[in-house]
Each structure stands twice: as structure tokens, then as C-alpha cells.
Amino acid sequence: MLKLRPSLTLFLVAAAMTTAVHEVPRAQTVARFALESTAGLRLHNVTAEPATLQERKGLRIRMAGTPGDEKLAIIEGSDFGTGVIEAEIAGAPQAGAPEGARGFVGIAFRVQSDLRTYDAFYLRPTNGRAEDQVRRNHSAQYISHPSWTWSRFRTETPEKYESYVDLVPATWTKVKVEVRGAQARLYVHDHPQPTLVVSDVKSGATARGAVALWIDIGTEAHFRNLTVTPGQ
């Protein structure tokens, strides 16, 4: 058996400890946005203003533009590929909204500079407790614009990119979007299990882009307490 001198043993242990220290990944910076003002937001076909909902401060966002346009409030300077996005959101049809309005509200990620290309998870709050079970099954949705719209998904792969979750309109709802390469999961209400699992994010495994607050036609939405934690 090979015997090492005490001094050599101490040297090897110290070297191993130094190597281990250098191999520990650096802590990732978590970006936090209270969303109590429009500072740091780029508004695209939406209006935004500070507002209080259920005694909690946040931002109220409404549509401003033609119905077919993308409706985003982009977090200036954000660059997200893999990681976790969390927020409190609420949505409801605004006064005078069309019949099909559902209070569409969500989070877009990997938003490109054309403001048309992105992935998103969103909720349809009025579907959550609808008497029609089919509508309930369409409470949460994944999309990847411009090619993969909700209607295309529903036609070509029914049920795969949407699911049920209990929702109440105009009520703060915690959501978490977890993205790992080409896989993404939506968590709602702090539940440990995901509401919706996507194993083939359409932007691919390595895409990057901005984070944005997302709404659609006929919605009055509220957002607060957004955090973005980049992955390693």
C-alpha cells in the first residue's frame, strides 16, 4: 500500500478543496419587479397604469390597438432563455368586451425584436368555473407565435397544449413558468405539480429573448410582483 507523507496528504486535501470551491456555480441574479409603475416597461398595443386590486398594488393593463395585434408590456433589458418566471396576475373581460372574451392574461418569454415572435403561457379566467366542462378544460394555454396559435394547436393536437385549472376572474393568481431548454411547465396557485407541461417548446432549446406581460382581446388585466430567475 502506498503511504503518503503527512505534508503531502495535507497538500492534496487542500488542492482538492480549492478545486471544489472553484467548481461551485456562481449564484444567479434574480431580477424583481414590483410593477407598481410603468417604469422599465415598453408598451406595445396596450395601456398601463398603477392600480389596486383586492387591496394590493400593481399595474392595470388594457388593450390599445387593433384586435389582431400582439398586446405586450415588455420588461426593458430582459434577456431570458432558461430559468423561472413568477408573477401574480389577474384577468377579466372589460366592459363592452366581445362575446368570446375570457379575461386572457399571461406571461410571454423569449420575445424577439419584431414583437411578434415569442412563447407564452396564459390563462382564461372565466373558463375556470364554467358550467361547460369543455370550457373548463381550456383554462390554461401554451402558444408560440406567430406560427403556433391556440387555434392551430386545438385543431392539430387537441388537448395537448391546454388544460384545466381552477380560476376566478379579477382575482390575484400566482403563476410560475419554468423553462429548461425545449421543455416548459406552468404552475398555478403555488401547487407543487404543474398545470400544463410542454415537452417541445416551439422556439427550440437555445432561443433567448425578452420577458413580457401578455394580454389578449377584451381583457382588463392586473400584474404584480414579477421575478425572473435565470437558469444555469
pLDDT of residue 13: 36
* Residue 12 counted as domain residue: no
* Residue 57 counted as domain residue: yes
Per-residue model confidence as pLDDT tens digits over 27-82:
568 999 999 999 999 999 999 999 999 999 999 999 997 777 899 999 999 999 99
d(CA 112, CA 174): 25
* Residue 153 counted as domain residue: yes
* Residue 9 counted as domain residue: no
* Residue 1 counted as domain residue: no
* Residue 198 counted as domain residue: yes
Greater model confidence, 210 or 18: 210
Greater model confidence, 2 or 101: 101
Per-residue model confidence as pLDDT tens digits over 158-169:
999 999 999 999
d(CA 214, CA 124): 12
What amino acid occupies position 124?
R
Greater model confidence, 40 or 23: 40
Angle value at C-alpha 78, between 85 and 92, nearest 5 degrees: 50
Number of domains in the chain: 1
* Residue 4 counted as domain residue: no
End-to-end Cα, the chain, rounded Å: 42
d(CA 45, CA 65): 5
Least confident of 5-9, 30-34, 181-185: 5-9
181-196: string of b/e by CB count within 10 Å (b at 16+)?
ebebbbbbeeeeebbb
Residue 226 is part of a domain; what is its CATH number? 2.60.120.560
Q: Which residues are 180's β-sheet partners?
A: 183
What single DSSP character describes residue 189?
T
Whether the ω angle into residue 25 lies within 30 degrees of 0, i.e. cis, is no
* Residue 221 counted as domain residue: yes
Q: What is the span of the domain harbouring residue 35?
A: 30-230
Answer yes or no: pTM beyond 0.85. yes
Q: Which triple of cell numbers denotes residue 139?
A: 383554462
Give the residue among 223, 172, 211, 174 at the shortest CA–CA distance from 62: 223
